[in-house]
Structure 1
Amino acid sequence: MRKSLLYFSWSFKTPYLILFVLVVCCGIKLNAQQQYELNSGWQCKPLKEVSVSGATITKPGFNMSDWMPATVPGTVLTTLLNNNKVPDPFYGMNNQLIKDVYSTGNAYYTYWFVKSFEQTAKGDEQVWLKLRGVNYKCELFLNGNKVNAQTHEGMHLRQQYNITKLLAANGQNRLAVLVYPPDFPGAPNGGQGGDGTIAKGLTTQYTAGWDWIQPIRDRNTGIWDKVFIEKTNGVNLQNPHVITLVPGKRLPAGKQEAAVIRTSGEIENPLNKTVNGFLQYTLEGKTIKTAVQLKAGEKRVVKLPDFQLVNPKLWWPSGYGEQPLYTIRMQFVTTGGQLIDEETVKVGVREITTQWNERTRSRENYVNGQKIFIKGGNWVISDAMLRFSEERYDAEVRFHRDMNLNLIRIWGGAIIERPEFYEACDKYGMLVFQDFWFSGDCNGKWTDPLKKDDQWTRRQYPDNHELVLTAAEDQIKMIRNHASLAFWCGGNEITPPDDILFALKDRILPELDGTRYFYDYSNSNDMSYNFLGGNGDGPYTIQDQKTFWSFKTYPYNSEVGSVGVGDYASLKRFIPEKNLIAPQNGKEPDSVWAYHKYIPYDQHVDPYGKAKDAKDFAMKAQLVNYDQYRSLMEGFSAHMWDWYTGVMIWKTQNPWTAMRGQMYDAYLDVNACLYGLRKGGEPLHIMMNPLDSMVTIVNNGFGIERNTMVQANVYDIDGKLQQQIQAFTEVAASTTQRTFPINEPLKKIKNGAFVVLKLLNAQQKVLSENLYWLPGADGKYTGLQSMKNAVLKVETRKATKGNIELILKNDKANPVAFFNRIALVNSKTGERILPAFFSDNYLTVLPGEEKTIQIDFPAQTNVPVSIQVYGWNVKEQLLPLNIN
């Protein structure tokens, strides 16, 4: 949701017709409110070096020549890093060199942040200061005056102040914000959330350390989210609410029955007089409005009449349909037609429901009346130091779409993400499962010797329950309009305290939302019946591929995960050269690897040959990564609606340079996990059951796939076709179907084999293709180790700024060109251009085969670009490009 100046989207050829339209459309005048962000020119200084008050700092003439440039939005640690006051905490063991707030005391990280800006107000104009997030407490001063009567507390809570009367007459204003760290930063003693006391406040629990991150030394103290100045013509319209109702069972294509659009908005009148007007919006050429009278000082929610949207363009999760969005500009206009204030909302028309599946004993989910098999990833936070951007959010969510996932779960030890994150999820069709700010580790689910307080005490964290409820109300309003937001959850692996839990589910959510299912906690029996005992999720370590097919785990597993080491280029970004030592099975890893939370690959790398060095290990680890996540998603999909209604991988991204649970690294560089998961999660997918070599098809779609041919091709390690089996079949909607086994042909292969499965339609177009590499009878990949080198021909069909079409060709006389990594690099520096999006990667090209890859990347200015390709048995080559 963002403010915008009023404009009209009609396209006319004469200015006279435009003028006529403006006149007849209620006489609205083009003098709407203004909003801008205070995101540059900030300065800061630690409190201990400032001897005067905020009132003095913000008076004209106060000298700030020796103050340090500050990063806002940002944290104290980000500002220190950007001013070269601390080393990069993401690199090596640098984090140990930075002072921790628990040891220094809070005063060390208590800072003044100051910003000057120009702004005036005249007549009924009102000016508002808006802060979207400060951690943890703050005092605000403007032009010598205190802005907030009471100290603001809480990271997860927006602030808004009417500063009209505090503005300087000459328009030259100075704002000062004194920011304090969390009252209880917690001891970073190696526990999940350290000693747990960080959860006594309403802040991010992970910053005291977790099993996937080292402590963030300032605990993310700072003005961490955006600061806005907004000017209205009087009345302030805020927190619009749009609900879409889509009755019945729909299909993505074809004409649709009408949907219901239900809207409301909060209106505040700060003036000393009664205001009369209309709350209204226009959609599909129809204006919906209601008359409003607001007394002086009054603030209330105003509901508009329901609107029947004819033949709506429906929003669907990724893999099931498109994601069209409607723009609603909710306006408050006077009876005389003057536009006073406006809010813009992007709306996806959809309805999400759930019901209990008695067969699986888990919750199953519906969008627009259609059953959706959940393929989800767990998300912690975009960046551990809160360095957010719209571009980074877009890239990360796009990666999740590219993995063929359809849901992201936001873990409870972090934050409710920023609106820009949900905008990206709306765009890419990712459902969101949103936890509130609780976790079993800190909030008392288990006995834990590393925790300071006992379970009964921790069970009541945070200390200020009213603050939690206030923040929940605020954050619900902030994100509730997003089509992607699908479910609310009380907390990670534990409920909030009862007075918070029941207030949320019985009062706050019904009043402020009322459309989304609420789970008491992330692995509750209401979500997935825990018939196995234990915590109701996991495991989190590497598994034999067959396990995913044979072992029946929780029917809607909220967390199951594995390894995730990046490739060699990724490792070099944060591991010093002297520490680039390959881990060996059964031995302790290097200290830097251990500090960055390396999970052992155990015996899974050795079948490819014991790693010679870190580069060799990283390449072999990618083979394991690909197989691990492809098998995970294939195993769950194979038992769709029989054992499972969904699965969520722990986890799919890292906000820090950890070496576990990531499909791309903290620098947005992809690894083979992403492409194995992408392959295994195809909406229409052909796969081989490793238990009995049965070729199986999974169809997540709503339609029957008729007259499809299932084709299985078995090649020896040299790429010679040994046998082909094929048969026609029909695949029902939303189902998994077994076809035929290929175990007999595989018995003839001694030192390994390649199996290529294809699903073709009646026009012989490939609908799904899947290549497996199999070990010899001894379980080792000796055949791969003895492969001859292949020479790939690499060329481009087109190359423009932001997009490349790459062709990989392998001559018939060549051996298989196995497991090729494609990267985009700066020709001068050799550094990878990030992020880059590949239609496929870590791919194999058979003899006589040609493959086309689409590459998207941020348009570069005056950066020479080359394509880098290397593989298991393909030497590295660089192809310089002439970008048009």
Structure 2
Amino acid sequence: MLKKNGKWLAGLLMMAGLQAAAQQPCMRLNSGTPGVVWKVKPAATAPAAAQLQATDYDDKDWVTADVPGTVFGAYVAAGLEKDPNFGDNIYKVDKSKYDRDFWYRTVFTPAANRQEKQWLIFEGVNRKGEVFLNGQRLGLLDGFMDRGKFDVTHILRPGQPNVLAVLVKWPGTPIVNYSSPTYISAASWDWMPYVPGLNMGITDDVYLGSSGAVTINDPWIRTLVPDTAHAMLHISMDLHNDGDSEQEGTVTGTITPGNITFSRKVKVGAGRTDHVSFQEKAEHPQLWWPNGYGAQPLYTCDLQFTAATKVSDEKRVKFGIKQYSYDTLGGVLHLHINGQRIFIKGGNWGMSEYMLRCRGGEYETKLKLHHDMHLNMVRNWIGSTTDEEFYEACDKYGLMVWDDFWLNSHPNLPDDVFAFNRNAVEKIKRLRNHPSIAVWCGDNEGYPLPPLNGWLREDVATFDAGDRLYQANSHADGLTGSGPWANFLPSWYFTRFPGGFGGTPGWGLRTEIGTAVFTNVESFKRFMPDSSWWPRNEMWNKHFFGKNAFNAGPDRYDDAITKSYGAPTGIDDYCRKAQLLNIETNKAMYEGWLHNMWNDASGIMTWMSQSAYPSFVWQTYDYYYDLTGAYFGVKKACEPLHIQWSAGDNSVKVINTTLQNAPGLTAEAMVYNVDGRPAKEFAKTVKVDAAAGAATPCFNLNFNIDNLAFRKPAVASSTSNDGGDAGAVADGSTGSRWSSHYTDHEWVYVDLQAPQEISSVVLNWETAHAKAFRLLVSDDAQNWKEIYQTTDGKGGMETVNFPPVKARYVKMQGDKRATEWGYSLYDFEVYGKRSSTLSDVQFIRLYLKDGTGRVLSDNFYWRSNRAADYTALNKLAPVKLTITSKMETVGDSIRIRAIVRNPASTTAFAVRVQLLRADNNQQVLPLLMSDNYFTLFKGEQQEVVMQVEKKVLENGKYKLTAIPYNGN
């Protein structure tokens, strides 16, 4: 991986899609290059431009800067601002110091060069940059993707000091959408703070290159796949002659693997640009596939223009052979690649890092974590990630990119629509060779205003040849909206339908849906002052757990922790319980969509899959790369071959999101009481053939063994449009509900079909419950006898016990509503004598095995008889586990294999394994980890594989901890 900190010089211009000068020779002008030191100073306090561009100018009072980087980042790195990650430091910064124009300046000495042309290349400046070399103005960069390529042949002084100065213009406010193209969220969002200076700076690579008179520009390789055994390659490029006379030469190219070669003699007139193209065939190509559907082989195309036996310019382009296609059958957008329909499992990136400090190998880490979660798409939200390394890692790991332009649903155009469109064209040209690009999207939650929508559509049609879809609006036109962004009970994600904002009703393709995700306590303490640890306070809100993140529903999240797991006693307990909520919510979110695969559902992208700022919302791993419960919930749900349980209707399905059929499998389910004793009456085993790209039903887990009303007829006084009919109360599914008209005196009854002795009724209410209601029984549904009445209904799961009575019909008669809505029931259960020995909280363990008994997928859930009340878990006896491990070296990494054992007779629930440094007990991060938060019954053991780079664990000395929820 090429790092932007200047440590690697080799192969700089070999990066995919890079449109610079020839490879030989060149000089990086990024920070870290020997002899290159960048400085910054506010333009208002700097001397006249001519003075600072003199080689003898003394810039010792300027601040050292990182290039690529930002102005504010330079001041932070220099220690002139307190750590912006910590506490509320970033909110206290004087924005006026940074919300203005700045000069960048460096002095460098290039080597002598024999090539005819010398070029100065800029890959990105935010928001504008006026460039000067040795006192001469070269031009203006306008937009953070505007590529600057300046002919400095007669300005550069080889072997002598040269002064490069750039006047960088502040983006200005309001930023949305006026300043676009820029990093829109830098002006604050509901997940990151205002960044002083709005991320202005030299934000991408700077270097010198050289060439002959003719250069190769914008090489483009289109791939068409009529079938998997053949591919057509269309190779094209522009040849530009910067010389004073016509140039005659030869364009040659070699594609590997396959050793496909081509060449052509051409003449390019002085000052002219000629377009050259070739058509080639690839037999039995190695196709590029999304993660989980196949491999991600990349091809290399080496291009060269030679004149008079001298290489004038050369380029290397990496690409993948693939072909995208799309349909909107049933009003739902479906994506295909190489003729195969792909179920999208993705995540949104708000930004790579809120101060643009994500560089080089960090993209490798972030996207490897996405790969290991079995995701296959990343949404580059509002185009806020611009680094080449991001796309290279997506290519490598099979992560398709839903790539936005820089608009956010506001009813205003950018101040300069022409600069916006130039940057849009530039973006397409830079990135179109990446096989990972799957969708170009015009606007976040809106349509680009005229003329931009038409321009962007034509830009994609012209400069990407329509090879990818242009999707104007991120939550309409074949999509089911965006959001919600707060947590719900697991059953809600299986309920028809999880509501979104905008778009059409249904699961469909949802480009944003998420939940708050609290960190583990170790990360919490890294960025929160100890005075603000507990209880919840305004400092939590500064990190988006309060009104600043209203869309994340922090109050709802808080309430769910307390109701499900009991009121936390402190920050350690809060973070411990939060991980359980993170697991169950995030797993259910993906599994709810997978449960309905192709039955409306075509994909889901969580908001968000990675963290740009230390916060408590919308992440799977946190800012410090600690893997939260959400990470492992998503990782489990998205397995390519996967067995899962529906919290909505208790069905079990096998999900196969691969291209291979999986015949002859065995699906097994076992239910356990909270103490680990198996409840054998609920066990299930079935043979199943799991078809490729399908959700295959296996069986239902019947937790209604004693429920006399299960699947019996039901009748209601009315049914509203927002709920199901009366039968929903007796179908055994919390994923369906009956809802009445919005009046007080409504009712519903179940017909037990024969007189039965009953002694209790369980009513599972939706929010719209009864404040006052009665229970009545009858033998003929005409004459009713009251057996219970209340004027203080609490809603939720209400259990009513009464002396045994014999009856055929049981009615809930509403007398007064608790809300403005009607009455709404998920379940109406009726019981007599109970035979089941289930505890209030149970565990469900699923296995999917092949014909040899090898486990291909396993899954684990906790379930409650009382609407997500898991407080019984707090009564588990403490358990102390044993752990052993082995370490091995694998290339540049250390791999640790640990075996965790439960020697106790008590369940060890939600075991969290941590890798720590032996000398200081600090977490070893980042790391890859096979599993965590697993449960061990008596005598069971689990292998956990961890991998870290050697440099992260320098001396190889470590310790491991394995602590369950009920640890000691």
Of 467, 474, 480, 2:419 maps to: 467
CA separation in 2, counterparts of 1:331 and 1:418?
Answer: 26
CA contact (8 A) 2:841 2:872 kept: yes
Which residue of the partner structure matches residue 963 of structure 2?
871
- Once the two structures are superposed, residues 133-153 of structure 1 have per-residue CA deviations (whole angstroms, 9 ceiling, x without a partner) of 1112222211122222xx332
Residue 846, structure 1, aligned to residue 937, structure 2: yes
CA separation in 1, counterparts of 2:693 and 2:77?
Answer: 51
Match runs of 1:255-654 below 5 Å:
257-283=229-255, 284-303=258-277, 305-334=278-307, 336-358=308-330, 361-412=331-382, 414-440=383-409, 443-444=410-411, 458=412, 461-507=413-459, 509-525=461-477, 527-528=478-479, 536-553=481-498, 554=506, 555-583=508-536, 593-594=545-546, 597=549, 599-600=554-555, 601-606=557-562, 607-654=564-611
Which residue of the partner structure matches residue 135 of structure 1?
126
Q: Structure 2 vs 1, CA of residues 5 and 434 (structure 1 numbering), >3 Å: closer, same or farther? A: closer
CA contact (8 A) 1:5 1:34 kept: no
Report the TM-score, using the length of structure 1 for normalisation.
Answer: 0.86
- SS of the residue corresponding to residue 369 of structure 2 reads helix
CA separation in 2, counterparts of 1:210 and 1:771?
Answer: 36
CA contact (8 A) 2:223 2:234 kept: yes
Q: Structure 2 vs 1, CA of residues 384 and 6 (structure 1 numbering), >3 Å: closer, same or farther? A: closer
CA separation in 2, counterparts of 1:774 and 1:820?
Answer: 17
Q: Structure 2 vs 1, CA of residues 716 and 379 (structure 1 numbering), >3 Å: closer, same or farther? A: same
The code of the aligned residue for 2:839 comes to: K
Residue 97, structure 1, aligned to residue 92, structure 2: yes
Which residue of the partner structure matches residue 761 of structure 1?
850
Match runs of 1:86-165 below 5 Å:
86-101=81-96, 106=99, 109-119=100-110, 124-148=115-139, 151-165=140-154
Which residue of the partner structure matches residue 19 of structure 1?
none
Deviation at 1:170, TM superposition (A): 4.0
CA separation in 1, counterparts of 2:693 and 2:633?
Answer: 22
Deviation at 1:646, TM superposition (A): 1.1
Deviation at 1:416, TM superposition (A): 5.0
Which residue of the partner structure matches residue 67 of structure 2?
72
CA contact (8 A) 2:76 2:83 kept: yes
Match runs of 1:194-205 below 5 Å:
199-205=178-184
CA separation in 1, counterparts of 2:129 and 2:666?
Answer: 65
Deviation at 1:873, TM superposition (A): 4.0
Q: Give the unaligned 5+ runs of structure 2.
A: 3-8, 15-21, 499-505, 706-835
CA separation in 1, counterparts of 2:167 and 2:135?
Answer: 14
Which residue of the partner structure matches residue 880 of structure 1?
none
Which residue of the partner structure matches residue 656 of structure 1?
613
CA contact (8 A) 2:23 2:209 kept: no
Q: Which moved more, 1:834-843 or 1:265-274?
A: 265-274
- Once the two structures are superposed, residues 683-729 of structure 1 have per-residue CA deviations (whole angstroms, 9 ceiling, x without a partner) of 11111111332221111122222111111112222222232321212
- Once the two structures are superposed, residues 165-215 of structure 1 have per-residue CA deviations (whole angstroms, 9 ceiling, x without a partner) of 111254321211111211x323xxxxxxxxx65634432221111111121
CA separation in 1, counterparts of 2:576 and 2:13?
Answer: 54
Which residue of the partner structure matches residue 253 of structure 1?
none
Q: Which moved more, 1:819-828 or 1:701-710?
A: 819-828
The code of the aligned residue for 2:487 comes to: I
Which residue of the partner structure matches residue 838 of structure 2?
749
Deviation at 1:808, TM superposition (A): 2.5
- SS of the residue corresponding to residue 659 of structure 2 reads coil
The code of the aligned residue for 2:579 comes to: Q
Deviation at 1:567, TM superposition (A): 0.6
CA contact (8 A) 2:881 2:963 kept: no
- SS of the residue corresponding to residue 958 of structure 2 reads strand
Deviation at 1:640, TM superposition (A): 0.6
Residue 731, structure 1, aligned to residue 704, structure 2: no
Which residue of the partner structure matches residue 533 of structure 1?
none
CA separation in 2, counterparts of 1:7 and 1:666?
Answer: 31
Of 53, 58, 64, 2:53 maps to: 58
Residue 244, structure 1, aligned to residue 233, structure 2: no
CA contact (8 A) 2:141 2:147 kept: no
CA separation in 2, counterparts of 1:806 and 1:218?
Answer: 46
Deviation at 1:436, TM superposition (A): 0.6
CA separation in 2, counterparts of 1:403 and 1:168?
Answer: 51
Alpha carbon RMSD of aligned pairs, Å?
2.5
Deviation at 1:594, TM superposition (A): 3.3
Of 26, 32, 37, 1:34 maps to: 26
The code of the aligned residue for 1:172 comes to: P
CA separation in 2, counterparts of 1:409 and 1:129?
Answer: 32
Q: Structure 2 vs 1, CA of residues 31 and 406 (structure 1 numbering), >3 Å: closer, same or farther? A: closer
The code of the aligned residue for 2:941 comes to: E
CA separation in 1, counterparts of 2:114 and 2:648?
Answer: 77
Higher Cα Rg: structure 1 or 2?
2
Which residue of the partner structure matches residue 788 of structure 2?
none
Q: Structure 2 vs 1, CA of residues 631 and 619 (structure 1 numbering), >3 Å: closer, same or farther? A: same
CA contact (8 A) 1:791 1:810 kept: no
Question: What count of residue pairs does the alignment treat as equivalent?
Answer: 800
Deviation at 1:822, TM superposition (A): 2.3
The code of the aligned residue for 1:185 comes to: T
- SS of the residue corresponding to residue 228 of structure 1 reads strand
CA contact (8 A) 2:879 2:964 kept: no
CA separation in 1, counterparts of 2:281 and 2:837?
Answer: 64
CA separation in 2, counterparts of 1:514 and 1:477?
Answer: 13
Which residue of the partner structure matches residue 803 of structure 2?
none
Identity of matched residues, %? 28
Q: Structure 2 vs 1, CA of residues 605 and 45 (structure 1 numbering), >3 Å: closer, same or farther? A: same
- SS of the residue corresponding to residue 487 of structure 1 reads strand
- Once the two structures are superposed, residues 756-809 of structure 1 have per-residue CA deviations (whole angstroms, 9 ceiling, x without a partner) of 100000011101100112234474224311112223221223333623232333
- Once the two structures are superposed, residues 37-95 of structure 1 have per-residue CA deviations (whole angstroms, 9 ceiling, x without a partner) of 42231122222332221x33222322223332111111111000011111122211111
CA separation in 2, counterparts of 1:507 and 1:420?
Answer: 24
The code of the aligned residue for 1:370 comes to: Q
Q: Structure 2 vs 1, CA of residues 324 and 47 (structure 1 numbering), >3 Å: closer, same or farther? A: same
- Once the two structures are superposed, residues 584-611 of structure 1 have per-residue CA deviations (whole angstroms, 9 ceiling, x without a partner) of 9xx9966664387472314321221210
CA contact (8 A) 2:425 2:459 kept: no
Which residue of the partner structure matches residue 708 of structure 1?
665
Which residue of the partner structure matches residue 877 of structure 2?
788
Match runs of 1:174-253 below 5 Å:
174-182=163-171, 184-186=172-174, 199-248=178-227, 250=228
CA separation in 1, counterparts of 2:904 and 2:913?
Answer: 23
CA separation in 2, counterparts of 1:873 and 1:363?
Answer: 42
- SS of the residue corresponding to residue 643 of structure 1 reads coil
- Once the two structures are superposed, residues 406-434 of structure 1 have per-residue CA deviations (whole angstroms, 9 ceiling, x without a partner) of 1111111x535211101000000001011
- SS of the residue corresponding to residue 147 of structure 1 reads strand
CA separation in 2, counterparts of 1:123 and 1:405?
Answer: 48
CA separation in 1, counterparts of 2:389 and 2:414?
Answer: 27
Deviation at 1:115, TM superposition (A): 1.4
CA contact (8 A) 2:24 2:209 kept: no
CA contact (8 A) 2:881 2:962 kept: no
